[in-house]
Amino acid sequence: MGHVWRNWSGSISFRPRQLECPASASKLAAIVRAVHARGGTLRVAGAGHSSTDLASTTDTLLSLARLHGVISVDPARCRATVAAGSTLQELGKSLYEHDLALPNYGDVATQTIGGAIGTGTHGTGLEQPNLSEMMVGAKLVDGRGDVRVITSDDIETLHAARVALGTLGVFTEITLQLVPTFDVERREYAAATDDALADWPRLVAENRSFDFYWYPRRDDVKLRLVNPLGGGTVALPYARALEKHSGYSHQVIPTHSGLPYRFEECEYAVPYEDGLACFARIRERIKRDWRRLVGWRVLVRTVAADDSHLSPAQGRRTVTISLHQNHSLPWQDFFADMEPIFRAHGGRPHWGKKHGMRAADLRPRYPAWDAFQRIRRAFDPDGTFLSPYLRQILGDAHE
């Protein structure tokens, strides 16, 4: 037990009993079988971008770093099967060589595709679902070390597997529904907050992707619009133009190739209809109580509805509101003060970001919760993938 694992921000650290990095799916399956045989627990670490304890374990930690790359391509159906340890950044470049592209990205592209799908990573755009929706099939190793194949022929299992927090099994291969390569332009503007909020319906409707950063100390915003070249909102008389970038989607949509600064983050997804009202309360509370202590920005995005059982966007269009705080400054009290506002608006937390909700809080917010648990038990009946943290947020779902 010599290796200490830390997430990218440094807020999560633990010392696993053993760290495994298999070079093949068969070796991976053998590791799971061995852990299961002794009644142990296994978790998978992706890029370490999550700031919750999803990867935490004092038993076996698995890295998929040696399982990466494009395995096969089906150009006729715009699909590709990729290794689960591939990063989004790597896939963007590799798929471009096949004239294919991921439909969307989040702010960064450092995550592994398995981790992004497992946590419901998303970008922005009212017609853009989270990245999990790209998955139309997969191979994974279940809790007893057996290889399972998931396809769209079993749609309920697919809906459970897309945002499963690594509790159904360990992905080895993922088949993605892609799109042909496309060019985009990202335009950024500075504006007064109230002007931008008044224009919100138009900005959301007219742009492929739209979001904004709100800066509490200045009480102004930065608008970001991403569209095909020449598309989207043109007239913004109240805004001042900042930067403009154009190129292929994988070069432009992720705004950060890496994360040079570290921060903690809390994000909730609220129904689209509640989005602006929720943000107004967050804005008011921060201006009143936290403006001096919190100088970091708040990010507001939209996400299309989907059918994945544990997706924060399950069954409803959403507005996501992300709070940030420097990793070296107190964040616990700040986030705890904001969470009741999110919850009052029907918020569901981002699985990979700080939140205080537990199974009893979460279950009523997910209509397919029990269906997910039934499928999870079928894939991992003995709880091989259930860490203490996951038992807190999912309950003792193996019993």
301-345 pLDDT, tens digit per residue, is: 999 999 999 999 999 999 999 999 987 788 999 999 999 999 999
Determine the pLDDT at residue 1. 53
Q: Which domains does the chain have, with CATH numbers?
A: 70-180 (3.30.465.10), 184-349 (3.40.462.20)
pLDDT over threshold 70, residue 2: no
- Under 8 Å between Cβ of 107 and 140: no
d(CA 226, CA 238): 19
Mean per-residue pLDDT, 211-218: 96
The band of 256, judged by pLDDT with boundaries at 50, 70 and 90, is: low
Determine the pLDDT at residue 259. 58
Of 343, 346, 300, 292, whose CA–CA distance to 323 is shortest? 300
pLDDT over threshold 70, residue 357: yes
d(CA 248, CA 222): 23
- DSSP classification of residue 259: -
d(CA 139, CA 62): 17
Mean per-residue pLDDT, 228-255: 94
3-state secondary structure of 167: coil
Residue 107 vs residue 71, higher pLDDT: 71
Mean pLDDT of the chain: 95
Alpha helices (runs of H) in the chain, residue ranges in sequence order? 25-37, 88-96, 113-119, 155-162, 193-198, 200-206, 249-252, 275-285, 332-344, 359-362, 369-379, 388-394
Q: What is the pLDDT of residues 112-137, one digit of tens each?
A: 999 999 999 999 999 999 999 999 99
The β-bridge relationship of strands 263-271 and 348-349 is antiparallel
Residue 370: φ, ψ to 5°: -65, -35
Of 313, 16, 384, 388, whose CA–CA distance to 168 is shortest? 384
Residue showing tokens 């799908």 = 117
Determine the pLDDT at residue 260. 62
Helix pair 275-285, 332-344: axis angle to 10 deg: 150
Determine the pLDDT at residue 399. 46
pTM above 0.75?
A: yes
3-state secondary structure of 346: coil
3-state secondary structure of 77: helix
Tokens in use for 273?
């209809």
pLDDT over threshold 60, residue 258: no
d(CA 14, CA 371): 32
Mean per-residue pLDDT, 25-30: 98
Residue 9 vs residue 201, higher pLDDT: 201
- Under 8 Å between Cβ of 337 and 285: yes
Mean per-residue pLDDT, 240-256: 93
Segment among 84-98, 246-260, 307-321, 345-359 with least mean pLDDT: 246-260
